[in-house]
Amino acid sequence: MLSRNVDGLSGWQLLVAGLTLSNLGLAAPVEDSPRQYLLAGLDLPPKYSKKLKSPYTPGFKDPYDHAVDAIGEKLDPLPFRNGIGASVLGPWNYERSRQSPDMVRPPSTDHGSVNNMRWSFADSHIRIEEGGWTRQTTARELGSSVELASVNMRLGEGVIRELHWHKEAEWAYVLDGRVRVTAIDYEGGNFMDDLKKGDLWYFPSGVPHSLQGLGENGTEFLLIFDDGNFSEESTFILSDWLAHTPKSVIAKNFNLAPEVFAHLPEGEKYIFQGSQPGSIDDEKPTGKGVKKSKYNFVHRMLEQEPHLTSGGEVRITDSKNFPISKTVAAAHVTIQPGALREMHWHPNADEWSFFLKGRARITIFAAEGTARTFNYVPGDVGIVPRNMGHFVENIGDEPIEMLEVFRADEFRDFSLFQWMGETPKKMVVDHLFKDDPENGEIFWNKVKSAEKDEVTLPDSENEAETKQREL
């Protein structure tokens, strides 16, 4: 693997330049070397650059602001765009710049000030416990995450997230492994179920529950809470409550001698190694007053029949098909390479996104002439405030898999494509193509069907035409 030298040139740049020199049979002096040209922020002369093509050079021109996959193409982004910019002389975080190429070289359409809308769970503090860990992304980590907060938790085999409840409602997506959930409902009904990757659970505010890792590898999941200021440290925990209640009161409550409670935990257990559970039938309570809950707190999201689009697929889970989930709606979206989660906006809630796979760029239009582009990789959280226009573009070579989560009872969005097709032709053309009727006709013929395509893949003939124009 080629490494970057101390002067800021990537190994591949020096290697390609060196091979070119070798092929030419030249031994360039220091003052006329590819290293010196690149350090000075200059284009390489033809004798050096014959095999070296990078969009991050002063002479590279792209009037259409195409995406660049800096990770996939092993490029080091630099702040050059369409003939302006300069090289970097000071300290530089190369890994960060590859993950956020559109921060280093923003599209020419970006303008003004927009709050930060990206956070990586890799930057969240991890709390390590017996057999597991947890980390969170809230409004404290990501100031724009005002409606929802999140916790990423790992439980090993048999490891328990102890009995607890929250002020906030809890929605969860199983990232991997298997997990058992237990709860009681508002009417005292008992609930137990085992979940796998792609399954959800939802516990309304105040509903007491527990979680336990199953199988050889346990589980990992993403928790969402319907308040951006949520803190995992503010959870109501069984052992913590009893540790702060007089034992005489505990004894009276359970009608037992105080000595029975002499060895209760002295504080919260939080996450701890438990016994390996048996099947649900073996473990379910059977006491005289036990009754089964009439509510379903879980949903098999990935078992839903997907809505297929030209560039991917979408599964939507909200109160329509998961009735108990009154405050959280979500979509699981797959975006194929080259495809686009179409230009749209959400009228009823901020979008809180979590990227499971792939590499993406999102430009957020915030009105008043302001827009900013952010990049996302697996493990990243993204925010788009309600009503702000945006898209999600796959800039990598593998499908994007992402969750769109909302503090709402129903998933809602407006499609720009559909809006144009549902608007009178003259109105559209007068707005966008007043002085260009020929292209106005081309545009109208494309959008007049008003067919919504949530994840759209450009027509191959249009792709070919675009490439031809670029050449």
Please write the tens of the pLDDT for every residue from 203-228.
Answer: 999 999 999 999 999 999 999 999 99
The Cα–Cα gap between 232 and 323 comes to 26
Question: At CA 462, angle to CA 396 and CA 451, rounded to 5?
Answer: 90
Residue 388 has a pLDDT of: 98
Which residue in 148, 98, 169 sits closest to 319, CA to CA? 169
Q: Does 372 have pLDDT greater than 80? A: yes
Q: Does 437 have pLDDT greater than 60? A: yes
Residue 44 pLDDT grade (very low, low, confident, very high; cuts 50, 70, 90): low
Record the tokens describing residue 352, joined without a space: 């809180």
Q: Which residues contact 382 (CB under 8 A, 6 or more apart)?
A: 117, 118, 351, 352, 353, 354, 355, 362, 374, 376
Residue 46 pLDDT grade (very low, low, confident, very high; cuts 50, 70, 90): low
CA end-to-end span of the chain, whole Å? 32
The Cα–Cα gap between 166 and 181 comes to 15
Residue 460 has a pLDDT of: 64
Residue 459 has a pLDDT of: 84
pLDDT tens for residues 319-367? 999 999 999 999 999 999 999 999 999 999 999 999 999 999 999 999 9
pLDDT tens for residues 19-40? 444 444 444 444 566 556 666 7
pLDDT tens for residues 85-112? 999 999 999 999 999 999 999 999 999 9
The Cα–Cα gap between 455 and 340 comes to 5
Residue 9 has a pLDDT of: 47
Q: Does 13 have pLDDT greater than 60? A: no
pLDDT tens for residues 49-59? 544 468 999 99
What mean pLDDT is predicted for residues 287-313?
97
What mean pLDDT is predicted for residues 362-376?
98
Residue 15 pLDDT grade (very low, low, confident, very high; cuts 50, 70, 90): very low
Q: What are phi and psi of 247, to 5 degrees?
A: -65, -25
Q: Quick check: 183 and 191 in contact, CB under 8 A? A: yes
Give just the sign of the alpha carbon dihedral 304, 308, 312, 316.
Answer: negative
Residue 48 has a pLDDT of: 54
The Cα–Cα gap between 226 and 245 comes to 29
Mean pLDDT of the chain: 91
The Cα–Cα gap between 313 and 309 comes to 6
Q: Which residue type does 50 have?
A: K
pTM for this model (two decimals) = 0.86
pLDDT tens for residues 106-147? 999 999 999 999 999 999 999 999 999 999 999 999 999 999
Q: Which of 11-15, 112-116, 194-198, 348-352 has the lowest mean pLDDT?
A: 11-15
The Cα–Cα gap between 48 and 410 comes to 57
Residue 2 has a pLDDT of: 40
The Cα–Cα gap between 139 and 156 comes to 28
Residue 14 pLDDT grade (very low, low, confident, very high; cuts 50, 70, 90): very low
Percent of the chain with pLDDT over 90: 85
What mean pLDDT is predicted for residues 259-286?
96
Q: Does 418 have pLDDT greater than 50? A: yes
SS3 for the chain, per residue? CCCCCCCCCCHHHHHHHHHHHHHHCCCCCHHHCHHHHHHCCCCCCHHHHCCCCCCCCCCCCCCCCCCCCCCCCCCCCCCEECCEECCCCCCCCHHHHHHCHHHHCCCCCCECCCCCCEEEHHHCCEEEECCEEEEEECCCCCCCCCCCEEEEEEECCCEEEEEEECCCCEEEEEEEEEEEEEEECCCCCEEEEEECCCEEEEECCCCCEEEEEEEEEEEEEEEEECCCCCCHHHCEEHHHHHHCCCHHHHHHHHCCCHHHHCCCCCCCCCEEECCCCCCHHHHCCCCCCCCECCCCCEEEHHHCCCEEECCEEEEEECCCCCCCCCCCEEEEEEECCCCEEEEEECCCCCEEEEEEECCEEEEEECCCCCEEEEEECCCEEEEECCCCEEEEEECCCCCEEEEEEECCCCCCCEEHHHHHHCCCHHHHHHHHCCCCHHHHHHHHHHHCCCCCCCEECCCHHHHHHHHHHHC
Residue 39 has a pLDDT of: 65
Enumerate the active-site residues.
404
Percent of the chain with pLDDT over 70: 86
Residue 463 pLDDT grade (very low, low, confident, very high; cuts 50, 70, 90): low
The Cα–Cα gap between 300 and 309 comes to 21
Record the tokens describing residue 28, joined without a space: 């360039």
What mean pLDDT is predicted for residues 262-291?
95
Residue 47 has a pLDDT of: 58
